[in-house]
Structure 1
Amino acid sequence: MGPFHLSAILLTLAATFGFINHKWLKLPSTIALFFEGLALALLVSGVDSVSATLGVGNWLRNLIQQISLPEILLDGILSLLLYAAAVNEDLCALLKRKWTVLALATLGVMLFTGLMGLGLSFIFRLAGIDVPLIWCMVLGAAIAPTDPVAVHAILGRLPVPETLRSVISGESLFNDGVGVVVFATLLHLATGSDQDLGAGEVALDFVKEAFGGAALGFVCGWIAFQAKRRIDESTVELTISLALVLGTYSLASWLGVSGPIAVVVAGLLIGYTTEKHVSSDESRRDLQVVWAMIDSVLNALLFLLVGLEATVVITWTGPALLAAALAVPLALVVRLLSLTPALLMHLGSSGKSSALVILTWAGLRGGIAVALVLSLPDSPYRDSILAVCYVVVAFTILVQGLTLEPIGRRLYSSNGRT
């Protein structure tokens, strides 16, 4: 099956599920697409177990196996999704909480990775699965960053103070780049390709990727801004935006710096300058509509794919399910502990307990975590790691994602939004 037919099938499924959600379910769109994709995968698996002669299970497996989620997401649509989120971000509000966001996106990710890895090592042993500590750390790094796609899908409906909203949004934008760097470093250690890598070299590589990505994003964003401010033609401005996203992400990969961080910085710069320097309201409106459509379609496809992965690429066993069930509360506790750096940077003198609850529950994971784990090489530990990762992601999307809004209303209904 060629790329055109694959795209046609996925878009048809996404459009159908989107209609069902809009008409009847009325859930946040990304959560609905994940739920419907998961339900379809389970339904097909059930039908296949009853009557394998129908071949629906093989059809779905062949469909998903032709689509490499790690390649599509990490080397493709992630750049567009991050830019679409960043370009609509309030940079001034974000800068007011820059130290809190920085602490969460760096120290918070590293703390989560270490604590989660240690906890997972104990859980795997308890479940009777032999997974070395370094591979537990790799899994911890994969699920450490909050997912910007999942977070931004519900952030607009979250009744919390604007300062807290900026922290949640900023963390989800920047910690993916940090998480991917930590994941790659630990994976090199786990596979033995960097056995002699010292702590100083690891720190230097981290600084190079993170700060190099930020510098590249600023330079590319500034060049695109200089081009956009000299024209008033929405189609040309859109072309410049697409070239900025894809070109920056590709160049970052070639230079060995963080593509996600580069795209986020470029998006923040363009978003900040658009209101002041786009020549006409018509051009600004056209750009917003097109990027909203790109964001919506790619979000739908991503969460549909993640939902469909459940019964296709994951091997479910009793010990793996036990480990996954224990990993869910562990992830919540570790998320709470990893927020310590942010609490030390003030989130405000009052309401810290409410902010802590929201920040903990807003730690949603999504397609990025699943894609990172799917990119792991074949090993005796891969299936168990993937099963645990998927259950943690599913819990955060379906349970935390659906209950975050009512929890926010309960905590802040009496205090008001400040």
Structure 2
Amino acid sequence: MSLFSLVSILITLAAVSSYFNYRYIKLPTTIGVMLVALVASLTLIIIGPYADGLREQAATLVTQIDFDQVVLHGMLAFLLFAAAIHVDAKSLHQEWLPIALLAVCGTLISTCIVGALTWLMLDLLGLGIPILHALLFGALISPTDPIAVGAIMKSVGASRQLDAQVAGESLFNDGLGVVAFMILLHLSGLDGAGADGITTQSSLDVTAIGLVLLKEIGGALVLALAAGLVAHEMLRRVDNYQVGVLITLALAMGLYALADALHLSAPIAVVVTGLFLSNRGRSSAMTDKTREHIGAFWELIDEILNVVLFMLIGLELLVMPFERGWLLAGALAIPIVLAARWLCVAGIIGPLSWMTKQSKGAITILTWAGLRGGISVAMALSIPESGSRSLILTLTYCVVVFSIIVQGLTVGRVIRRSSGSTSASETRQEG
């Protein structure tokens, strides 16, 4: 099937699912679309034995979609840039300390906790995997997904402080999560060889790991600022919104591809340059008309790709390698991930509350609002074939589906109860 035909089918399915959700289910668009896709996938699985080749044809269509390439090396560039350029950079600056601690320390600590507890849980179930493979699962499931979080938080009445903390953490921790995932992939030997100076599981060179982190993250920051300055100067010298939109589009795509080619953290690079334009470019480099059209363009890109991504997550059910024991392990992985998230958030926000005022119920809200999404599934699917891959993929899918559906649909209620049941408008004013 040609690329155009495949994309046409995906867009058509997304449009039909969105219409069905809007008319009948009336859930937030992304969650409703994913539910429609999940129900359709389950229906095909159930009727598969009675419908000659129907499920196989649908599964063949899904397998033609390289989820890893589509998400990590395609959609993510647009979605992260769209999220960053719409974020209130001033609020992020005010909350830089909790955001930095949650994104860096929280992600790394959660990786260790989830990895260790998952390793013990699987061993008790007789599904034991090497500890480095369990840590690999911890790395891919610990980052909160900026796509999933952003899509949900838009309609929830959180305080400005919490909104900034959730958005800021989710924008930055996925970049660190991808770096940690790649390092553990090398250390575990699943990729077949070491890279970037890191040896395989026979040794653990902390210095080499530190250098890789410095190169990937530090290099991404330098590249992002340089690209942002160039784009800022280009935008400042034109008074044409079509050219302005094209410059931002080239910036998101070109910077992500360049960072990828240089083995830098492409997600962090795109987020930083998006925040740079949001903070500095909007006020000093764009006319009102250009600012309005650029904002509308990226909002539309964000909405369309969000719907397509969540639909793809639902359709992936058709090719998931489920087994009964793995499903039990997936169910047990959910409280493990939530417990690790709570421990990290409480360990960071608790001490910070002694120094600066934090929103009421911040620990509970930040824990429950830490959704996982397509980035985790994409990383799990990128693991090369091995004895642990299918099990890790099942664990990831179970946690992601629970996170988006259960946490996504109840996060508003949790925020209202934890923050004292203030209305959305009142809560915003408190920030």
**What is aligned with 2:92?**
94
- Between stretches 209-218 and 181-190, larger displacement belongs to 209-218
SS in 2 for 1:256: coil
Q: CA deviation at 1:39?
A: 1.1
- Residue deviations 1:202-233 (CA, integer Å, cap 9, x gap): 01111221121112111101110110011111
For residues 161 and 360 of structure 2, the distance between their equivalents in structure 1, rounded to whole angstroms, comes to 15
Q: CA deviation at 1:273?
A: 2.5
Runs (5+) with no aligned partner, structure 1: none
Contact 2:349–2:363 under 8 Å retained in 1: no
For residues 111 and 4 of structure 1, the distance between their equivalents in structure 2, rounded to whole angstroms, comes to 43
For residues 208 and 367 of structure 1, the distance between their equivalents in structure 2, rounded to whole angstroms, comes to 26
**What is aligned with 1:162?**
160
For residues 229 and 197 of structure 1, the distance between their equivalents in structure 2, rounded to whole angstroms, comes to 48
For residues 380 and 201 of structure 1, the distance between their equivalents in structure 2, rounded to whole angstroms, comes to 27
Number of residue pairs matched by the alignment:
415
For residues 80 and 23 of structure 1, the distance between their equivalents in structure 2, rounded to whole angstroms, comes to 28
Q: CA deviation at 1:318?
A: 1.5
Match of 2:335 among 318, 321, 329: 329
Contact 1:220–1:244 under 8 Å retained in 2: yes
- Between stretches 233-242 and 271-280, larger displacement belongs to 271-280
Change in Cα spacing, 1:344 to 1:216, as seen in structure 2 (3 Å) is: farther
> Does residue 81 of the first structure (1) align with residue 87 of the second (2)?
no
**What is aligned with 1:8?**
8
Q: Structure 2 matches for 1:3-402, cutoff 5 A? A: 3-49=3-49, 51-53=50-52, 55-191=53-189, 193=194, 194-195=199-200, 196-312=203-319, 314-339=320-345, 340-346=347-353, 354-402=361-409
Q: CA deviation at 1:200?
A: 1.0
For residues 139 and 7 of structure 2, the distance between their equivalents in structure 1, rounded to whole angstroms, comes to 31
- Percent identity reads 38
Q: CA deviation at 1:351?
A: 5.7
Runs (5+) with no aligned partner, structure 2: none
For residues 402 and 257 of structure 1, the distance between their equivalents in structure 2, rounded to whole angstroms, comes to 35
For residues 279 and 362 of structure 1, the distance between their equivalents in structure 2, rounded to whole angstroms, comes to 34
- Between stretches 365-374 and 14-23, larger displacement belongs to 14-23
- Residue deviations 1:326-371 (CA, integer Å, cap 9, x gap): 1111111010011213433348755666100000001100000000
What residue identity is the alignment partner of 1:327? A
SS in 2 for 1:345: helix
Q: CA deviation at 1:277?
A: 2.7
Contact 2:162–2:359 under 8 Å retained in 1: no
- Residue deviations 1:156-207 (CA, integer Å, cap 9, x gap): 2222211111000000000010000000000101116322451011011112
What residue identity is the alignment partner of 2:23? K
TM-score normalised by L of structure 2: 0.93
What residue identity is the alignment partner of 1:163? Q
What residue identity is the alignment partner of 2:228? G
Contact 1:213–1:261 under 8 Å retained in 2: yes
- Residue deviations 1:284-338 (CA, integer Å, cap 9, x gap): 22212211111111111111111100121x1111110111111111111010011
- Residue deviations 1:71-91 (CA, integer Å, cap 9, x gap): 111111101100000000111
Contact 1:127–1:320 under 8 Å retained in 2: no
For residues 418 and 358 of structure 2, the distance between their equivalents in structure 1, rounded to whole angstroms, comes to 9
What residue identity is the alignment partner of 2:6? L
What residue identity is the alignment partner of 2:164? S
Contact 1:232–1:278 under 8 Å retained in 2: no
Q: CA deviation at 1:282?
A: 2.3
